[in-house]
Structure 1
Amino acid sequence: MRIFFLGYMASGKSTIGKIVAKKYNLPFIDLDDYIEKKENKTVSEIFQSKGEIYFRKKENEYLKELVEAEDNFVLSLGGGTPCYGNNMDLITKSKNTISFYLRASISTIINRLKSEKEQRPLVANLKNDDLNEFVAKHLFERSYFYNQAKHTIAIDTKEIDEICNEIYSLLT
């Protein structure tokens, strides 16, 4: 079984992914961490030194590498991963794969991002006043891709264990 988590940054993909991986005794992979190991640079450094286009090409290359492997795993995608190249097709057409969109509202995302902006290259240089418009625009643009996930889990008012239990019920 291969489980993919997608959604906007700060929607809880890595947090939930690690818990689900542990429950099912599967390896957990965060795609951004995987890219950082392969490139020997942080995502921020890649964005700064080589730009977003280079990053997106590498992201697609490494996603393809993981999808083509026969391994079982839980994979947390970057917020933009489903929206570039043929990444969503790779995910939806991959064997033994189930995908979950962790859907968060704009206000939930902004509340989470305010405390961790420095670690997020796409928003690190934005003023808090500009964050709302940026997130709203991105969510609108990306929703087409996110909504192709097999399951959508609304996360705004739920505790982590509630989200995980909803996922477990869909996996059984």
Structure 2
Amino acid sequence: MGRIALVGFMGSGKSTVGAQLAEKLDYTFVDLDTFIENRTQMSIPHIFATGGEAHFRQCEQEALNALGNQSRGVVLATGGGVVTQAPSRALLKEAWQAVYLRATPETILARVLQDATERPLLQDEHPDVRIRTLMAQRQNWYEEVADVTIEVDEFSVEMIVQYIVDWLDARFAER
């Protein structure tokens, strides 16, 4: 059994796709943000408010390391910024099969504005500009860790899940 990590910008569908993929593969689904909240007994916005982004990224790296060392048969939905830290990118490349769910800034904006979840990095007067800026900064990092990239804008969750299953089957057949 393997480890599959879904990476991509906030709102790209990592949690939604991850849950359905895990069910289809009979794997355990783990949302990294939820794992961190349970581990620290604090919400993500509270971690950002009390320790800043640097502290959150440290919590994220520790959680990623813990999951990578002990978990098999897991689909992990990472946070959108997990790739900003070199040690986290190294962990993703070393211990996980990473699937990059790539969406356009327009898709991301539409999804996160509909989402009631508080997004600490979008507490900005111009979230559209912030999204484009962060996506541009992170693009190369997502590509660096990705074993496969899926353009998600035009596809249903079911289609994306099937694409990943087919990709995994093809990878397994190559071995």
**TM tier, smaller:** over 0.9
- AA aligned opposite 2:109: I
- The secondary structure found in structure 2 opposite 1:5 is strand
In 1, distance between residues paired with 2:139 and 2:65? 22
C-alpha distance in 1, partners of 2:131/2:40?
28
1:165 aligns with 2:162: yes
Name the residue aligned to 1:4: 5
Q: Is the 8 A contact 1:4 1:99 kept in 2?
A: yes
Q: Detail structure 1 runs of 4+ shifted over 2 Å in the superposition.
A: none
- Calculate the TM-score normalised by the size of structure 2: 0.91
Match of 2:139 in 1: 143
Query: Equivalents in 2 of 1:100, 1:31: separation in Å?
Result: 15
Give aligned pairs, total: 167
Percent identity over the alignment is: 32
CA distance in structure 2 between the partners assigned to 1:147 and 1:12 by the alignment: 17
Q: Secondary structure at the match of 1:86?
A: helix
Q: Which runs of 5+ in 1 are unaligned?
A: none
How well do the aligned residues superpose, as a CA RMSD in angstroms?
A: 1.2
Contact 2:103 2:153 in 1 (8 A): yes
- Aligned in 2, Cα 1:71/1:165: closer, same or farther, shift over 3 Å? closer
Q: C-alpha distance in 2, partners of 1:70/1:147?
A: 24
Using the alignment, how far apart are the partners of 1:132 and 1:6 within structure 2?
Answer: 20
TM-score by length of 1: 0.93
Matches within 5 A, 1:45-124: 45-94=46-95, 97-116=96-115, 118-123=117-122
Q: Which has the higher helix share?
A: 2
Is the contact made by 2:3 and 2:71 (CA closer than 8 Å) also made in structure 1? no
Q: Which moved more, 1:2-11 or 1:65-74?
A: 65-74
CA distance in 1, matches of 2:107, 2:135: 12
State the 1:164 CA deviation: 1.2
SS at structure 2 position matched to 1:57: helix
* d(CA) in 1 for partners of 2:106, 2:16: 19
Structure 2 unaligned residues grouped into runs of 5+:
170-175
Could you list the per-position Cα deviations for residues 118-169 of structure 1 after superposition, in whole angstroms to 9, with x for gaps in the alignment?
Answer: 521111x223xx1221111111110111012000000011111111111111
